[in-house]
Homo-oligomer: A and B are copies of this chain.
Amino acid sequence: MTAAEQEYIKQIYTGIADGHLPMQTYMLAELVGAKPASATDMVKKLTLKGLLNYRKNHGFSLTESGEQVALQIIRRHRLWELFLTENLKIDWKQVHAMANELQSINSDLLVNNLEAYLGYPVYDPHGEVIPDAKGHLPQTERMEIYDLKVNQGATVTGFRDSGSAFLAYIEKLGLLIGVRIQVTSLIEYNHSVEIAISQVSSFIITKETAQKIYVTINE
């Protein structure tokens, strides 16, 4: 598989995981940073290869085989991200872009040895789970800040968006992984959420932001 095909497959997987089922052409184009015409071409090609279920003019989803392929690409992507932050000390805001270039190198030997070197990690630097060699995703129960009720306390465990602009905002807010937060109020007007960090600072984030931050409820 070419690097481009792999990037499309990865974006289809994550797009669907984020609730876009079936996936649509314009959405895929936006995710990969291309025009819809290009996405149509690629969808047709991936369909011929048996990786997509495609109903012309009505969107598409991954086949069983396509999903396995996607999980392997995501596995490589996230393992490299972790290596870059943990070992090479590269800023977590920059590793996603680098991992996009590394993910296309498809060697089981390389990837499995990298995984062993990293100590069989479960999470990447953005709190995303890493599929194992068989394509299995560790099961974790976690929700979005947006799903929390008022006064409910939780701990930040990850992010749905690895873009450097989003992560810079997260850093500015101090909402890093492991930080304990509490929802102090819900804004009825536009569904923003007010949250507090360790009873000190308190601020409001938009609905969109609240949906991009994963938390686990404190026991």
Binding site for B on A (CB under 8 A): 84, 87-90, 94, 98, 101-102, 104-105, 107, 109-110, 113-114, 117
Least CB distance from A6 to B in Å reads 13
Point out the residues of chain B lying under 8 angstroms from A104, CB to CB.
Answer: 101
Point out the residues of chain B lying under 8 angstroms from A84, CB to CB.
Answer: 110
Smallest CB gap from A84: residue in B: B110
The answer to whether A110 touches B90 (Cβ under 8 A) is yes
Q: Within the complex, which residue of B98, B105, B107, B109 is in contact with A107, where a contact is CB–CB below 8 Å?
A: B98
Point out the residues of chain B lying under 8 angstroms from A98, CB to CB.
Answer: 105, 107, 110
Smallest CB gap from A112: residue in B: B88
Least CB distance from A182 to B in Å reads 37
Complex-state Cα separation, A90 to B109, whole angstroms = 8
Smallest CB gap from A105: residue in B: B101
Least CB distance from A73 to B in Å reads 15
Q: Within the complex, which residue of B89, B101, B114 is in contact with A113, where a contact is CB–CB below 8 Å?
A: B89
